[in-house]
Chains A and B, each alone.
Chain A
Amino acid sequence: MKTLRELLFPLAAVVAAFIVGGIVVLAVGDSPLSTYTLLIGSALTWPDGIGYTLFYATPLIFTGLAVAVAFRCGLLNIGAEGQLYAASFVTAWVGITCAGLPALLLVPLCFLAALVAGGFWGAVPGVLKARFGAHEVITTIMMNFIAVALASYFTQYHYKPQGDPILETVPIGEGAHIARLGRFVPGFPERIPLNLAFPLALVVCLLVYLFLWRTRWGYEIRATGANPAAAQYGGIATGRQIVLAMSISGALAGMVAVNEVLGYRYRYYDGFSSGYGFTGIAVALLGRNHPVGVILASLLFGALLRGGLFVDIFTEHVSKDLVMVLQGIIILFVASEALFRGLSRRRIKGV
């Protein structure tokens, strides 16, 4: 019963968002039905639709988990975007600097770099909050801009190939590349960039679940989030939990680098993230801050990102910005949970 209600509410929010989105589509002058058919249909074709949906879902699983872990500690990490940028640049930097190493060493080294850089970028707001009481929302927003600016500086002045009109680094060493799933799955073409980062994301979901619900540290993080005063009274060093949660959160967001740098672009590319960090907030909220929910929500948003490209091309008026509109409305509805509770209560009372 409880699980059903946990599922029902996010579902209601999504349906409500699609209805409002449909009205917007209608207002713009297209048919909502055919637009949605196109949006969802193009995300479900085999192998391209599904392949790209999973590819787009991968970074969202990481950022969704990142936001969820912070949420469980009572923190709102708006900084996943900056954490994934910091991690992606540092990962590319390691991949470039140690290009000569064999894959067996280079891939783990790059992975470690992603974790450390992302974790560090998350830890700073954590420390600022625990030590000085600086609100993590504001500091993470600021850290986002700093990460993007620093990565862009290093790219532009130190790692850009000569004469390249695009702001990107030179490629990483071949030893750092990770395989695309096409190599293992028969009938799945290797041109689709879905790579080993996707199964990694699923494993990380399991690990996060085990960490949060089966370890003492995880328990202490959740206790801190549920009631900081009570947790402190119970002997939990809440400050340390805040720093720990933010570091883990940042490291999770940093894993986006595995998908983007090691599995797809093989370099750092300025402005590559189409707001994965912010969509992660939507993913975590819709997924009820639970790893399983995060996977489901990531699949939905991954499908929307994929389908949005087709809506852009094949409809008369609607552009892929519809996806962003849907995303915004979904977050608003999920955040205004009381709206739905109010509705159901009214129905019970028969008013």
Chain B
Amino acid sequence: MTIVLILLLSAIRLTTPLLLAALGGLYSERSGVINIALEGLLLAGAFTAATVTHYSNNPWIGLAAAILAGMLVALIHGVACIKFKADQVVSGTAINILFLGVPALLSGALFESTGATPQLPRSQLMPYTPIFLAFALVPVTWYVLNRTPFGLRLRAVGENPEAADTAGVDVARVRFAAVMLSGALAAIGGAYLSIGQSSLFARNMSAGRGFIALAALIFGKWRPVQTMLACLLFGFAEALSIQMQGVSQVPVQFIQIVPYVLTIVVLAGFIGHSRAPRALGIPYQEKR
């Protein structure tokens, strides 16, 4: 019984960064901008949160700084993709590579380390708030998307930007807002990795979670509740693989690949088709 409880709690902890990043990705992608930069955004958030908390001794300031950093990094993605019509996947890849380097470079310079920040005391960690925030954001996101004018515009811009433009919606502005929102949420997920789950930033500490979040978003068909369920499933798989390490005969690698295999299966349409927003990945040229 206790083992089940431990497993469930661990699953919820492991789901949190995935869910935050996936919800972030949801805003961006529903507006028509592919966001494979989630991995880089997680790292930017994680590094900023740990560093600012170290200097300010206050995790709230660390979290706020992380959100700001996430929005700034997302702004780069937005400027490249929305303003300069760069290929969204290429831009996202660039940001992922860039933010594998930037935190390591900065922490090396700031702390004379090989890419890690100093350990934070327990009192300066934020172990619970991001968890509640992540799960609370699911109904909020549903509401924003389906019941507010902003959500309507966001979906319109992602499905049919020409129509939205004709109806007077500023496509670029809505997309910028969505992408920056996406940066803010993913950065909270990153902050949870460094000042929630652990007590420092370590090189490449996101370890592919941005991509699992992306997988969950697709598995959840770009919808908030389904995406949460997918994140829980993947979080549970990770928790299981940690608990089973050294105990069971099943190699951990087999549990680790579950999210990736499932995503491929879903994308291929074997378990219900997952349909992307119609204008996803297509830069929009305003009619003048």
A and B found bound together: yes
Of residues 144 through 176 on chain A, the ones whose CB sits less than 8 Å from some CB of chain B are 145-146, 149-150, 152-153, 156-157
* A338 beta carbon closer than 8 Å to chain B: yes
Contact with A along B89-123 (1 / 0, CB 8 A): 11101111111111011101100001100000000
Residue in A28, A134, A275, A281 whose CB lies within 8 Å of B106: A28
Of residues 331 through 349 on chain A, the ones whose CB sits less than 8 Å from some CB of chain B are 331-332, 335-339, 342
Q: Which of B12-20, B186-194, B225-233, B257-265 contacts A (4 or more CB under 8 A)?
A: B257-265
Residue in B108, B267, B268 whose CB lies within 8 Å of A321: B108
Q: Which of A50-58, A113-121, A135-143, A194-202 contacts B (4 or more CB under 8 A)?
A: A135-143
* B208 beta carbon closer than 8 Å to chain A: yes
Whether the pair A142, B80 counts as a contact (CB closer than 8 A) is no
Whether the pair A281, B105 counts as a contact (CB closer than 8 A) is no
B90 neighbours in A (Cβ, 8 Å) = 76, 281, 285, 331, 335
A331 neighbours in B (Cβ, 8 Å) = 90-91, 93-94, 97
Q: How far does the Cβ of A231 sit from chain B's closest Cβ, in whole Å? A: 19
Contact with A along B255-287 (1 / 0, CB 8 A): 011001101100111000000100000000000
For B97, B100, B218, the residue with the greatest tally of chain A CB atoms inside 10 Å of its CB is: B97
Of residues 117 through 151 on chain B, the ones whose CB sits less than 8 Å from some CB of chain A are none
* Interchain CA distance A145-B215 in the complex, whole Å: 12
Whether the pair A157, B108 counts as a contact (CB closer than 8 A) is no
Whether the pair B97, A278 counts as a contact (CB closer than 8 A) is yes
B86 neighbours in A (Cβ, 8 Å) = 332, 335-338
Whether the pair B261, A146 counts as a contact (CB closer than 8 A) is yes
Q: A319-B108, A335-B86 are in contact. Are A141 and B214 (CB under 8 A)?
A: yes
Whether the pair A150, B94 counts as a contact (CB closer than 8 A) is no
For A78, A131, A318, A335, the residue with the greatest tally of chain B CB atoms inside 10 Å of its CB is: A335
* Interchain CA distance A149-B83 in the complex, whole Å: 38
* B242 beta carbon closer than 8 Å to chain A: no
Q: How far does the Cβ of A266 sit from chain B's closest Cβ, in whole Å? A: 24
* Interchain CA distance A331-B256 in the complex, whole Å: 30
* B36 beta carbon closer than 8 Å to chain A: yes
* A328 beta carbon closer than 8 Å to chain B: yes
* B173 beta carbon closer than 8 Å to chain A: no
Q: How far does the Cβ of B7 sit from chain A's closest Cβ, in whole Å? A: 21
* Interchain CA distance A279-B108 in the complex, whole Å: 23
Closest to A145 in B: B260
Closest to B77 in A: A332
* A8 beta carbon closer than 8 Å to chain B: no
- Tally chain A residues at the interface, Cβ within 8 Å: 50
Q: A76-B90, A319-B115, A331-B93 are in contact. Are A325 and B102 (CB under 8 A)?
A: yes
Q: A29-B109, A335-B86 are in contact. Are A157 and B102 (CB under 8 A)?
A: no
Residue in A141, A281, A319 whose CB lies within 8 Å of B104: A319
B264 neighbours in A (Cβ, 8 Å) = 128, 134, 139, 142-143
Q: How far does the Cβ of A137 sit from chain B's closest Cβ, in whole Å? A: 5
Whether the pair B108, A152 counts as a contact (CB closer than 8 A) is no
* Interchain CA distance A336-B91 in the complex, whole Å: 8
* Interchain CA distance A145-B208 in the complex, whole Å: 9
* B254 beta carbon closer than 8 Å to chain A: yes
Q: How far does the Cβ of B210 sit from chain A's closest Cβ, in whole Å? A: 10
* A132 beta carbon closer than 8 Å to chain B: yes
A153 neighbours in B (Cβ, 8 Å) = 251, 253-254
Closest to A334 in B: B90
Whether the pair B89, A145 counts as a contact (CB closer than 8 A) is no
* B84 beta carbon closer than 8 Å to chain A: yes
* Interchain CA distance A336-B82 in the complex, whole Å: 10
A321 neighbours in B (Cβ, 8 Å) = 100-102, 104-105, 108, 115
A interface residue numbers (CB < 8 A to B): 24, 28-29, 76, 78, 128, 131-135, 137-139, 141-143, 145-146, 149-150, 152-153, 156-157, 275, 278-279, 281-282, 285, 317-319, 321-325, 327-329, 331-332, 335-339, 342
B interface residue numbers (CB < 8 A to A): 34, 36, 76, 79-80, 83-87, 89-91, 93-102, 104-106, 108-109, 114-115, 208, 211, 214-215, 218, 251, 253-254, 256-257, 260-261, 263-264, 267-269, 276
